[in-house]
Amino acid sequence: MVHTVLRPRDGDALRAEIRRVADQAGVPVVFGGEVHEDALLLTEFYGTLTNGLRELAVLRTSGLGGRVMDSRRPASVADYRRAATITHHYDGPVTGERIRSVLAVPVVVEHRSRAVIYAATRGENPLGDRAVDLAVRAGRRLAGEIGVRDEVDRRVRMLEVTAPSPDTGPAVAEELRDINVELRGMVCSAHDDELRERLHALSDRLSRALVGDLAPDAPRLSRRELDVLGHVALGCTNQETAQRLSLGPETVKSYLRNAMSKLDAHTRQEAVVTARRLGLLP
């Protein structure tokens, strides 16, 4: 797994999804873990009675979790102990929890399983359709969150390689401006509050590195106004900006009007030029 100073722990996001499934679906046992190399390490639990599953390493293709990790598709068994579709390498800790019906959902990012979420019952009845749907949605939601974090890490590495300097050429500067705008746009896709704040902080640092400190007479623009103006600087239409920021077109127009008013600009292009001159945009 990739970890940087910027990246919050993926295990925290996994724990939040496990808690959500347990609360919303009323499933008695929900647990999971992240995939490291070719092994799934179970670290997050809700409703377990023993420590038998804790820190258990599930190998690829082994058991139900290993099977979904390899196939990258959800799978379930109605009676774990009698299931003929999986290996039974982990019968001891599973039966120790008296688990009978169990669903495993892989968290797939870029065609690779990054985690697995399990939902299980101990009674005669299998998991209901609602519980299955909630678990699958949790897996997709977590995959989206991890994907955003991966992209942030990738862009941080790009910034480290192409760090701006007094000799930064126009082409490199333009690429860094594009990265800065996309970083701000990615905030909309992040569900983690800490990650959103760090994305904004990274964007602000990049802006300062490219243009220096704000001019003394620079007006105060909101984050959303800067987000919209940054996309305008890339040549995006209002519709394209709305799609990238997950906003309505009229909302984008409103933010743009406010920014133009604060900058005393009469056109979109004039607003961008003024914002760059004042150090509000890189």
Mean pLDDT of the chain: 85
pLDDT tens for each residue of 2-31? 444 457 788 989 999 999 999 999 999 999
Q: For residues 51 and 11, give the distance between their C-alpha atoms in angstroms, rounded to a whole number.
A: 18
- Residues written for the chain: 282
What DSSP state is assigned to residue 28?
S
Q: Is 168 helix (H, G, I), strand (E, B) or coil?
A: coil
- CATH architecture, domain 10-150: 2-Layer Sandwich (3.30)
| Burial classification of residue 217, based on how many CB atoms lie within 10 Å of its CB (0-12 exposed, 13-18 middle, 19 or more buried) | exposed
DSSP code of residue 215: P
Can 10-150 and 168-277 be said to share one CATH topology? no
CA dist., res. 219 & res. 275, Å (int): 9
- Using CA atoms, how far apart are residues 193 and 109, in angstroms rounded to an integer? 21
- Global confidence as pTM: 0.62
Residue spans per domain, the chain: 10-150, 168-277
Which class is domain 168-277? Answer: mainly alpha
pLDDT at 2: 43
State the burial class of residue 46 (Cβ atoms within 10 Å of its Cβ: 0-12, 13-18, 19+): middle
Gap between the terminal Cα atoms of the chain: 32
Pick from 4-8, 33-37, 55-59, 221-225: least confident: 4-8
Separation between Cα atoms, residue 39 and residue 228, nearest integer Å: 43
Q: Which residue has the higher pLDDT, 223 or 51?
A: 51
- pLDDT at position 74: 97
Residue 91 CA from chain centroid, whole number: 33
Residue of higher predicted confidence among 135 and 282: 135
For residue range 60-119, list pLDDT tens digits in order.
999 999 999 999 999 999 999 999 999 999 999 999 999 999 999 999 999 999 999 999
Strand partners, 105: 117
DSSP H helical segments within the chain, as ranges? 10-25, 63-71, 91-96, 129-161, 170-186, 193-211, 223-233, 238-245, 249-262, 268-277
Structure tokens at 143: 């995959």
The answer to whether 26 and 131 are in contact (CB under 8 A) is: yes
